[in-house]
């Protein structure tokens, strides 16, 4: 494992119904520090399962995951500690509807990092400022549009100072006119050097922002390379077929 590598999966498998359904069928991948990796593939290809297993929201059937030098798939490991360093953004935002935006963002740093209320709120406000939502700090999630909710979800994860950000189809539930504002925040994050793993259908984003693109199908990594390699010169027939449908 090279020094820059922050996540390394080894032969990751996830089977359902006793092996009848193979969502992941031996996925080995490395994510380096500061790298933006975009995972693409047809629906049911296992790309979301792969992403969700990186912080063990899906428990792999077999295989191992190294994160920051620790094997987090070891049952003895306290996964909660490691999840603090892996921010996650969901397709459906999953903001906490009973808390204000500010509380959504400060609850985890205060309870888990033992940050003071003042520090947590100052950090939250600073992040909200960055995504242009500082004036919404004291409103509830239901009062925001989808794009605003997702921007809040991103900064909520950032409040924990994560080393990696995982994005699970962050724009798939958005109205088309709101996709851009969310992608802009993600792009800015990438430019600041955040390590990101992004599952998305936004090929434009993949081309523009990704350092590396992984194409998955039927639970395996079919092809992986720079955006140019994957989009302009795909080697595998399945990659070609998929790209011909989405581009």
Partner 1 sequence: MEWFNNWINKLHETFIVGDRYMTLIEGFEKTLIITFGALIIGVIIGTIVAMIKVFAHNSPKSRILKVLDVIMNIYLTVIRGTPVVVQLLISFFIIFISAKDGTWVAMLTFGINSGAYVAETIRSGIMAIDPGQMEAGRSLGFSNIQTMWLIILPQAFKNILPAIGNEMIALLKETSVAGYVAVVDLTKAGNQIKNTTYDQINPILLVALVYLVMVMLFTWLIGLLERRLRKSER
Interface residues with partner 1 (CB under 8 A) are 55, 57, 80-81, 83-84, 86-88, 90, 92, 94-98, 107-108, 111-112, 140-143, 156-157, 160
Distance of closest approach, residue 174 Cβ to partner 1, in angstroms: 16
Q: In angstroms, what is the minimal distance from the CB of 159 to partner 1?
A: 9
The alpha carbon dihedral of 200, 205, 207, 211 has a sign of negative
What is the phi/psi pair of residue 77, to 5°? -75, 140
- H helix or E strand, kind and range, residue 65: strand 62-67
In the bound state with partner 1, the residue whose beta carbon lies nearer, of 161 and 233, is 161
CB of 154 to partner 1, least distance (A): 12
Which residue's CB is nearer to partner 1, number 2 or number 80? 80
Q: Which is nearer to partner 1, 26 or 63 (CB)?
A: 63
Q: How far is the CB of 114 from partner 1 (least distance, A)?
A: 12
If we measure between CA atoms, which residue out of 217, 227, 202 comes closest to residue 23? 217
In this complex, which beta carbon is closest to partner 1, that of residue 58 or of residue 211?
Answer: 58
Contact 243, 234 (CB under 8 A): yes
Percentages helix, strand, coil for the chain (3-state, rounded to 5) are 40, 25, 35
State how far the alpha carbon of 122 is from the alpha carbons of 35, 106, 126, 165, 174, in Å.
Answer: 28, 9, 6, 21, 29
Q: Are 130 and 107 in contact (CB under 8 A)?
A: no
Shortest CB 1 distance to partner 1, Å: 24
CB contact set of 53 (below 8 Å; sequence gap of 6+): 9, 12, 14, 24, 59, 60, 65
């Amino acid at each position: 494992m090279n020094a820059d590598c922050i996540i390394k999966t080894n032969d990751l498998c996830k089977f359902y119904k006793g092996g009848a359904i193979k969502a992941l069928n031996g996925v080995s991948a490395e994510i380096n520090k500061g790298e933006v990796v975009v995972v693409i593939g047809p629906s049911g290809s296992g790309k979301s399962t792969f992403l969700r297993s990186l912080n063990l929201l899906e428990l792999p059937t077999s295989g191992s995951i190294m994160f920051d030098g620790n094997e987090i798939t070891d049952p003895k490991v306290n996964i909660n500690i490691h999840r603090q360093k892996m921010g996650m953004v969901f397709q459906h935002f999953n903001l906490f509807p009973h808390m204000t935006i500010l509380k959504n963002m400060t609850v985890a740093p205060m309870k888990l990092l033992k940050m003071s209320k003042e520090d947590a709120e100052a950090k939250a406000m600073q992040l909200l400022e960055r995504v242009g939502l500082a004036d919404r700090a004291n409103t509830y999630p239901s009062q925001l549009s989808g794009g605003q909710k997702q921007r809040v979800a991103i900064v909520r994860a950032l409040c924990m100072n994560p080393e990696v950000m995982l994005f699970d189809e962050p724009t798939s539930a958005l109205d088309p006119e709101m996709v851009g504002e969310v992608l802009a925040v993600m792009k800015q994050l990438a430019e600041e050097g955040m390590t990101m793993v992004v599952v998305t259908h936004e090929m434009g984003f993949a081309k523009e922002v990704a350092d590396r693109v992984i194409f998955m199908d039927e639970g395996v990594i079919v092809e992986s390379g720079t955006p140019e390699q994957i989009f302009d010169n795909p080697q595998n027939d399945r990659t070609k077929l998929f790209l011909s449908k989405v581009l």
